[in-house]
């Protein structure tokens, strides 16, 4: 049996290197009149986000232990500001003269338009990108839709106190890390939409903050979560699942290329937009440690981390992270783990769900009989002799090889791509 040809060659676990602290742009949330594409104007109360000149590091923006101001009075929040976008800057922020490009950026804003769903630290809204009309100075809707995740600083503070695994600071840093490496590889700055086409990963339009909230703004994916699509469809055919798996693998490869472990890949964290899928929610991302790591200087270089696989180390991180049904056995057991192997395990669970319409087990624990039997080589026997699940032999073989308990027995990303099942026909199910 083929073993994982990408597993670290030594088992020395290391703590994951820290991300550099991200820089955020300040904004005000204002009352404003907005003109739609038909020329009709409407007044929106406290729903337009406008960038100001100020920037701040993440912790200063959230006032985390800065001059004992962690419990500052939010009564002066710009979330309740009036329609003026020229509020004074916090003294902790930097203010610089605008370049022409920055000046043009200040003529864009975002309209908070529709509540989509709740998030751990706040809410996700559907929004519109706005441009300032130079003739009458009115905000004008564009055709570009966006997703606006508004997270309260108070909620983020509580999450830190509770040591929750999902970390908005690391999510922003991971997205910036991806953008930086992609820009370095292309030799120019890519737009969020172009970067998404390159990576199959959601990319940022902006990271904004005011006194009350942190805002992450990304392009809007019209198809919603793949999990919801699956629940509606009940299952996908093998050609449809093959098409979707190729797109997911492209996204996962983007993380491996820049030395990141996602840790929370799931159908709930994969969005569908026309013919593509995009991996989202990087709040549990970790940088993968290497025993030849040169520190944060590596963050600034155009490095393909897969070329350093001989130096990749296991990750020493005992805290569980991710959804239980997608969590690998080594993460569930709080053992050191390989960042590539745990993400590929989660992709295997995704493929299982796409093909069968149900999850394989509740959690990767030995007291779960389904997990214990399938992860030790009995998947094909259970499918054919006990459960009556009708899949091709190649499909069952691939699932088994992605879902072995021992990570050294699981296939790597490239081995999955090279599996005979992947050579079959594909159909876009969207």
How large is the angle between the packed helices 339-356 and 393-402, nearest 10 degrees? 150
In whole angstroms, give the CA distance from residue 245 to residue 254. 14
Classify the phi-psi angles of 293: left when phi > 0, otherwise alpha if psi is within -120 to 50, otherwise beta.
beta
Strands 108-118 and 122-132: antiparallel
For 209-234, what is the mean pLDDT?
A: 95
Question: What average pLDDT is seen over the chain?
Answer: 87
Record: fold of 24-219: Phosphorylase Kinase; domain 1 (3.30.200)
Question: Would you place residue 310 in the very low, low, confident or very high pLDDT band (cuts 50, 70, 90)?
Answer: confident
Q: Nearest to residue 85, comparing CAs of 41, 137, 36, 9? A: 137
The yes/no answer on whether domain 226-423 falls in CATH 3.40.50.300 is: no
**What is the reported pLDDT for 377?**
93
Top mean-pLDDT range of 56-70, 78-92, 126-140: 126-140
In whole angstroms, give the CA distance from residue 92 to residue 212. 16
**What is the reported pLDDT for 163?**
86
- State the Cα angle at 417 between 415 and 422, rounded to 5°: 125
DSSP for residue 267: G
Question: Would you place residue 294 in the very low, low, confident or very high pLDDT band (cuts 50, 70, 90)?
Answer: low
In whole angstroms, give the CA distance from residue 297 to residue 98. 28
Tens digits of residue pLDDT in 360-394:
999 999 899 999 999 999 999 999 988 989 999 99
For 26-41, what is the mean pLDDT?
A: 94
For 193-206, what is the mean pLDDT?
A: 95
Would you list the domain boundaries of the chain?
Answer: 24-219, 226-423
**What is the reported pLDDT for 103?**
40
Kindly report the number of other CB atoms within 10 A of residue 57's CB atom: 18
Q: In this structure, are residues 15 and 289 in contact, taking their beta carbons and an 8 Å threshold?
A: yes
Q: What is the torsional sign of CA 181, 186, 187, 191?
A: negative
In whole angstroms, give the CA distance from residue 270 to residue 10. 32
For 229-235, what is the mean pLDDT?
A: 94
Top mean-pLDDT range of 159-168, 179-188, 262-271: 262-271
Its pTM stands at 0.87
Please determine whether the domains at 24-219 and 226-423 fall in the same fold group of CATH. no
Q: In this structure, are residues 19 and 287 in contact, taking their beta carbons and an 8 Å threshold?
A: yes
For 205-219, what is the mean pLDDT?
A: 97
Residue 390, C-beta contacts closer than 8 angstroms, at least 6 positions apart: none
For 395-401, what is the mean pLDDT?
A: 97
């Amino acid at each position: 049996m083929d073993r994982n040809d990408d597993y670290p060659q030594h088992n020395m676990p290391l703590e994951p290197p820290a991300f550099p602290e991200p820089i955020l742009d300040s904004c005000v949330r204002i009352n404003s009149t907005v003109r739609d594409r038909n020329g009709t104007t409407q007044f929106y109360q406290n729903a337009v986000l406008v960038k100001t000149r100020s920037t701040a590091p993440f912790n200063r923006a959230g006032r985390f232990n800065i001059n004992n101001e962690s419990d500052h009075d939010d009564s002066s929040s710009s979330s309740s500001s009036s329609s003026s976008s020229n509020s004074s800057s916090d003294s902790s922020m930097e203010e610089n003269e605008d370049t022409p490009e920055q000046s043009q950026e200040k003529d864009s804003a975002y309209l908070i338009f529709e509540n989509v769903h709740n998030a751990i630290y706040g809410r996700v809204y559907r929004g519109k990108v706005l441009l300032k009309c130079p003739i009458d100075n009115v905000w004008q809707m564009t055709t570009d839709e966006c997703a606006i995740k508004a997270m309260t600083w108070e909620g983020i503070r509580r999450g830190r106190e509770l040591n929750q695994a999902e970390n908005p600071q690391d999510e922003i840093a991971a997205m910036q890390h991806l953008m930086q490496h992609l820009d370095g590889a292309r030799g120019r700055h890519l737009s969020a939409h172009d970067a998404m086409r390159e990576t199959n990963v959601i990319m940022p339009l902006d990271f904004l903050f005011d006194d009350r909230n942190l805002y992450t703004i990304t392009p809007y994916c019209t198809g919603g979560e793949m999990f919801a699509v699956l629940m509606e469809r009940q299952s996908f055919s093998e050609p449809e699942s093959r098409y979707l798996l190729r797109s997911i693998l492209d996204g996962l490869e983007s993380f491996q290329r820049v030395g990141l472990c996602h840790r929370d890949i799931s159908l709930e964290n994969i969005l569908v937009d026309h013919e593509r899928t995009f991996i989202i929610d990087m709040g549990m991302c970790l940088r993968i440690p290497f025993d030849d790591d040169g520190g944060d200087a590596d963050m600034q270089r155009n490095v393909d981390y897969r070329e350093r696989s001989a130096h990749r180390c296991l990750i020493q991180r005992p805290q569980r992270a991710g959804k239980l049904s997608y969590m690998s056995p080594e993460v569930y057991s709080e053992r050191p783990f390989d960042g590539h192997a745990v993400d590929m395990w989660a992709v295997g669970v995704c493929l299982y769900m796409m093909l069968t319409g149900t999850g394989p087990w509740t959690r990767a624990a030995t007291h779960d009989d389904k997990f214990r039997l399938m992860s030790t080589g009995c998947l094909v026997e259970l499918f054919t002799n006990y459960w009556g699940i009708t899949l091709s032999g190649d499909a069952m073989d691939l699932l088994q090889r992605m879902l072995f308990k021992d990570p050294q027995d699981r296939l790597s990303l490239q081995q999955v791509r090279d599996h005979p099942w992947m050579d079959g026909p594909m159909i876009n199910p969207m």
